[in-house]
Copies of this chain bind each other. A is one copy, B any other.
Amino acid sequence: MGFPKTDLNQIKRHPKRGAYDRDAAYEIIDEALICHVGILEQTQPVVIPTIHARIGDKLLLHGSSASRLLNYARSGKPLCVTITIIDGIVLARSLFNHSMNYRSVVIFGRGELVEDDEERMTALKAVSNHLIPGRWEEARHPNHKELKATKVVSIPITEASAKIRGGPPKDEEEDRELPVWAGVIPLRLQPAKPEADPQLGTDISLPKYVSDYVRLK
């Protein structure tokens, strides 16, 4: 089921790039490592980067009880979560038609505090799996004190839209013959060689979920 178009989520610039189906949005949400959350301090918008996770139709944020972001998010005031994946640089023959290939999602919503301990653990497991699948099964789980120090906020994903640009540059007809290279430089968030903690015991080998880590789903 798609998102209903509203005044807020409707794509006005480049409407052909807009997508309102949940599958398209959820794929982007799940692939992106972090999101940017827009909150309000009096009349001042504040944008804070943080890691997220998704369970079904809910977006989950977590953080310290002292965090400005989490305290706003739990208040139920309107917030905006924007998720952006950069896919490439689009080089047209004219500078005017230069662009980026990207996939983004904007969610307008309100957070609610997750209070049930079991739900909180499920949320933290989702965050861990979002960061790196396999890790939850191996690392030490949160203890009572750590769980208590962590706030989890759930944001129902009801009003959202995705925006996607892909493919080659679009040049003006009269520019096509210019002697200028045109095309796309694809970009991707790539892992480099894992760096072991200097304090790591020499008998501990690199897990496969670390050596094979890729961001793309």
Contact surface of A with B, Cβ cutoff 8 Å? 8, 12-13, 33-34, 36-41, 43-49, 51, 63-64, 66-68, 77-82, 84, 86, 89, 91-96, 98, 100, 102, 104, 106, 108, 124, 128, 131-132, 135-136, 138-143, 146, 150, 168-169, 171, 175-201, 203-207, 210, 213, 215
CB distance from A103 to the nearest CB of B (A): 10
CB <8 Å contact, B36 and A66: no
Closest to A182 in B: B197
7 residue pairs from A and B, CB less than 8 Å apart: A47-B81, A94-B140, A168-B195, A181-B196, A184-B195, A185-B213, A187-B215
Given A34-B100, A140-B175, A192-B186: A84 touches B12 (CB 8 Å cut-off): no
Closest to A48 in B: B82
CB <8 Å contact, B44 and A198: no
CB <8 Å contact, A98 and B131: yes
Complex-state Cα separation, A19 to B188, whole angstroms: 28
CB <8 Å contact, B190 and A188: yes
CB <8 Å contact, A184 and B194: yes
CB <8 Å contact, A139 and B93: yes
Q: Which residues of B contact A177 (CB under 8 A)?
A: 201
Given A34-B86, A38-B38, A198-B168: A138 touches B44 (CB 8 Å cut-off): no
Complex-state Cα separation, A2 to B153, whole angstroms: 35
CB <8 Å contact, B181 and A13: no
CB <8 Å contact, A196 and B182: yes
Complex-state Cα separation, A135 to B99, whole angstroms: 13
> What are the 8 A-B residue pairs with the smallest beta carbon separation, nearest first?
A38-B45, A38-B47, A47-B82, A36-B36, A186-B192, A182-B197, A190-B190, A96-B146
Given A96-B150, A187-B191, 19 other A-B contacts at CB below 8 A? A34-B86, A34-B102, A38-B38, A38-B80, A46-B80, A48-B106, A95-B124, A95-B128, A98-B135, A132-B185, A138-B181, A140-B178, A179-B203, A181-B196, A181-B200, A181-B210, A183-B200, A185-B192, A186-B194
